[in-house]
Amino acid sequence: MSADKDPADYLRALGEAGDGPHDIATAALMLAALDHSARPLQPYRAHLAEIAEVAGAELRFTRSAMETARALARLMAGRYGYEGDRMAYDDPQNADLIAVIDRRRGLPVALGILYLHAARAGGLQASGLSSPGHFLLRIQGKGGEALIDPFNGGAAVDPERLGGPPAMSGPAADNPGMFEAVGDTDVLLRLQNNLKLRALQTGARARALEVAKRMVLIAPRRAELWLDLARLNEQAGALGAAQKAYEACLSLAKSGTALYNDAALGMGALKRRLN
């Protein structure tokens, strides 16, 4: 998939390709580019290429997963200065990869995407985890694995003692599923969901609708995203677009499920409005 494509075309092709693995940092860059149409992307591509080159050279000499995790932290937090933004955690810039690269500050998931990019360039298997509230990643290789917290300087994480901003509730033992790996599309959706939720919290419904469209673009087979898009379109008065989104949800959702029933109810109410 060529990074020289128009960002929307690149993301559409990514969505059609399935859940990945993807060139996840380039995908996040393309998502950010939709908000920076006048900004040249070459400096950001060059930065990602430099990270990959340095990671490929430095991580290959480590002898264990924990040693690799420390080397990754030295690279991303030490050499490049990436840190979690504790002062303005909810700033939307923290989920915009262009702004994250400019500021060297971001949300856990945005920083995690850069760590995933570096780890994979270093020949490691790396994936995001389904940990709620605070994005973590797992690297595998060198005869073992390690959990990494990109928000806290790439620190290796003891699964029994999770914490740090934002605080995570409950010990890991209470929720074994929180350490399941998720696909790259899920990581990108998590990044976008941060933007959508912040827009809704501030009443910026037009912005939330725009982000919801992007989420469908990169994950067109997710019925729940189409239902969300339908509702946001309906609230915006875009009834034709809402109807198409409800139809897409109904075509993807399994009949009889709560999701299908919600979409059917929404479609029925919308048709009554249109008649």
- List domains and CATH numbers for the chain: 7-182 (3.10.620), 222-274 (no CATH)
252: Cα within 13 Å, side-chain hemisphere: 18
Query: What integer best gives the mean pLDDT of the chain?
Result: 91
d(CA 197, CA 270): 24
Confidence check: pLDDT of 157 > 50: yes
d(CA 5, CA 9): 6
Confidence check: pLDDT of 172 > 50: no
Looking at residue 158, its pLDDT comes to: 73
Looking at residue 159, its pLDDT comes to: 62
Q: Which whole number is the average pLDDT over 42-59? A: 96
* CA pseudo-torsion sign 236, 239, 241, 245: positive
Confidence check: pLDDT of 184 > 50: yes
Residue-wise pLDDT for 196-223, tens only, equals 999 999 999 999 999 999 999 999 999 9
CA distances from 156 to 45, 133, 173, 216, 274 (A): 28, 18, 18, 34, 55
Kindly report whether the global pTM for this prediction surpasses the value 0.85. Answer: yes
**Poorest-confidence range of 19-23, 32-36, 74-78?**
19-23
**Bridge partners, 156 (sequence order):** 148
127: part of which helix (H) or strand (E)? strand 125-129
- The percent of residues above 90 in pLDDT, for the chain, comes to 81
**Poorest-confidence range of 138-147, 183-192, 194-203, 231-240?**
138-147
d(CA 112, CA 228): 26
Q: Per-residue confidence at 160, pLDDT binned at 50, 70, 90? A: low
